[in-house]
């Protein structure tokens, strides 16, 4: 399971980001990006927390690895419940007002 530090590290990969014509060296520290990035990192940590994993993750039968239920292809009512719980977990910290959280792509693809 991905954690907040994994997310932050993934953003420090040397990508070229420009704001108002100026290159941003580290988006995780820039005042224009830092707060939403910090919030998403917190959301990754919350999603990986031990107290919610049973309700918001599943174990892939083929690999034995645990994954977020946001990637679960629903095949039963229980699967749909798991998907609802994980999307609610992602929406609650911002009352659903932060668009394009990491779970938004998963719900389209799976």
- Write down the domain spans for the chain: 4-109
25: burial class by Cβ within 10 Å (0-12, 13-18, 19+)? exposed
How does pLDDT run across 68-99, given as a tens digit for each residue? Answer: 899 999 999 999 999 999 999 989 988 888 88
Classify each residue of 43-54 as buried b or exposed e, where b means 16 or more C-beta atoms within 10 Å of its C-beta. Answer: bbbbbbeeeeee
CA terminus-to-terminus distance, the chain: 17
Residue 93: predicted pLDDT: 87
Q: Given this model, what pLDDT does residue 32 score?
A: 94
Fold of 4-109: 4-hydroxybutyryl-coa dehydratase, domain 1 (1.10.3140)
What is the percent of the chain where pLDDT is above 70?
A: 99
Does the pLDDT of residue 11 top 80, yes or no? yes
pTM over 0.85: no
Tell me the pLDDT of the chain averaged across its residues: 91
- For residue 28, pLDDT beyond 90: yes
Q: Report the chain's C-alpha Rg in angstroms.
A: 16
Q: What is the mean pLDDT of residues 8-35?
A: 96
Residue 53's alpha-carbon distances to 10, 11, 24, 40, 60, in angstroms, are 23, 25, 35, 18, 14
CA distance 60 to 53: 14
Query: H or E element: which one contains 22?
Result: strand 22-24
State the SS3 of 68-102.
EHHHCCCCCHHHHHHHHHHHHHHHHHHCCCCCCCC
Output the pLDDT for position 34: 97
């Amino acid at each position: 399971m991905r954690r907040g530090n994994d997310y932050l590290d993934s953003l420090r990969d040397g990508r070229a980001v420009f704001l108002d014509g100026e290159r941003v060296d580290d988006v995780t520290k820039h005042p224009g990006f830092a707060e939403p990035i910090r919030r998403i990192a917190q959301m990754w940590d919350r999603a990986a927390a031990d107290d919610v994993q049973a309700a918001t993750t599943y174990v892939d039968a083929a690999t034995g690895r645990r994954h977020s239920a946001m990637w679960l292809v629903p095949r039963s009512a229980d699967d749909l419940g798991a998907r609802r719980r994980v999307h609610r977990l992602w929406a609650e910290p911002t009352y659903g007002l932060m668009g394009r959280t990491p779970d938004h792509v998963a719900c389209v693809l799976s």
